[in-house]
């Protein structure tokens, strides 16, 4: 399968964007200084000027709690900007790949969410990402929307780094145990995005919405226990309900994602997040 002649990535400092740059060194990665997602027209213009043969949007307003107070900005960045990007890519006849989130669902039940299940976001962040999904589909071009969850890496702010920081100064922590999902290494997301992009270049009929999350599904509390175990830290974890840890934005209780269609269409299996965690801890120098 031929690789993109010129891959354009929106995002440069985020978790997935950093991994994309490492995995595809020839890609052009645009940070906020070169592409402000609060200016959708400028993002479309950047695509036109780039001569790209494929585009991945790895940039977003990801501050879930802050989005509650600035929904208009979140919707501009997460909704209008990818819509403008997808329209431009459709006009140019090139594939567009967009990252989305488990937050588009209401988190009810116990079953894994299917890509075609009814959405029902609980807050501003989920609504803004859902708006982006709708815009990408409506653009009518070759595209893939990849919903993922609980992203972690050695970069930026994420649960793994927070646990390591807190565990370094505390003997015990209380962690939410009634929210379940699949932790997902950013490097595996980046690899999946690249594989999907390459496939779409050769086979545009693979367009659609897909899920990708690490296995096995766990609670935040059990995720924390594995972090401390692999890092050789003695910090103990006590389970608490989400109601004991209120936040401005409501989190889905059930973030389990069914990833079967991604495997069927692209041959991409769910990654074992425990393996990815070991790699991240090694990168951070946190392995015993």
Q: Encoding tokens for residue 232?
A: 């050789």
Q: Which residue has the tokens 């974890």?
A: 237
Q: What is the CATH classification number for the domain harbouring 39?
A: 3.40.50.720
- Distance (Å, whole) CA 100 – CA 219: 21
pLDDT at position 37, please? 95
Domains in the chain, number: 1
Is residue 244 one of the residues assigned to a domain? no
Q: What is the phi/psi pair of residue 10, to 5°?
A: -85, 120
pLDDT at position 287, please? 83
Q: Contact at 8 Å (CB) between 4 and 197?
A: yes
pLDDT per residue over 25-71, tens digit each? 999 999 999 999 999 999 999 999 999 999 999 999 999 999 999 99
Is residue 30 one of the residues assigned to a domain? yes
Residues 6 or more apart from 5 whose CB is under 8 A from it? Answer: 53
Q: Encoding tokens for residue 79?
A: 């909704």
Is residue 210 one of the residues assigned to a domain? yes
Is residue 233 one of the residues assigned to a domain? no
Cα end-to-end distance, the chain, whole Å: 40
Range of the domain at 148: 7-156+184-215+256-271
Is residue 174 one of the residues assigned to a domain? no
Asked if 125 is an active-site residue, the reply is: yes
Residue stretches of the chain with pLDDT short of 70: 1-4
Is residue 280 one of the residues assigned to a domain? no
H or E element at residue 102 = none
pLDDT per residue over 233-242, tens digit each? 999 999 999 9
Q: Contact at 8 Å (CB) between 79 and 121?
A: no
- Distance (Å, whole) CA 231 – CA 212: 26
Is residue 75 one of the residues assigned to a domain? yes
Contacts by 243-246 with C-beta closer than 8 Å and gap 24+? 244/174, 244/176, 245/174, 245/176
Is residue 223 one of the residues assigned to a domain? no
Half-sphere exposure at residue 68, Cβ-oriented, CA atoms within 13 angstroms: 10
pTM for the model: 0.96
Q: Encoding tokens for residue 76?
A: 């501009």
pLDDT at position 1, please? 43
């Amino acid at each position: 399968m031929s690789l993109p002649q010129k891959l354009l990535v929106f995002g440069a400092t985020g978790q997935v964007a950093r991994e994309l740059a490492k995995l595809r060194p020839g890609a052009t990665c645009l940070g906020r200084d070169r592409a402000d997602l609060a200016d959708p027209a400028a993002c479309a213009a950047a695509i036109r000027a780039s001569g790209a043969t494929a585009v991945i949007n790895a940039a977003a307003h990801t501050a879930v709690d802050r989005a509650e107070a600035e929904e208009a900005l979140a919707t501009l960045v997460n909704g209008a900007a990818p819509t403008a990007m997808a329209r431009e890519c459709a006009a140019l006849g090139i594939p567009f790949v967009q990252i989305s989130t488990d937050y588009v669902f209401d988190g009810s039940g116990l079953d894994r969410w299917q890509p075609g299940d009814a959405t029902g976001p609980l807050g501003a962040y989920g609504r803004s990402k859902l708006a982006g999904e709708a815009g990408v589909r409506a653009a009518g071009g070759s595209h893939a929307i990849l919903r993922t969850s609980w992203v972690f890496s050695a970069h930026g702010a994420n649960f793994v780094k927070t646990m390591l920081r807190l565990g370094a100064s505390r003997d015990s922590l209380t962690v939410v145990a009634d929210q379940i999902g699949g932790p997902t290494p950013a490097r595996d997301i980046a690899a999946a995005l690249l594989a999907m992009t390459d496939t779409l270049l050769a086979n545009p009929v693979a367009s659609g919405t897909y899920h990708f999350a690490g296995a096995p599904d766990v609670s935040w509390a059990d995720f924390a226990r594995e972090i401390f175990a692999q890092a050789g830290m003695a910090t103990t974890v006590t389970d608490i309900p989400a109601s004991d840890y209120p936040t401005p934005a409501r989190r889905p209780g059930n973030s389990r994602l069914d990833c079967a269609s991604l495997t069927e269409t692209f041959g991409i299996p769910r990654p074992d997040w425990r393996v990815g965690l070991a790699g991240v801890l090694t990168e951070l120098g946190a392995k015993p």
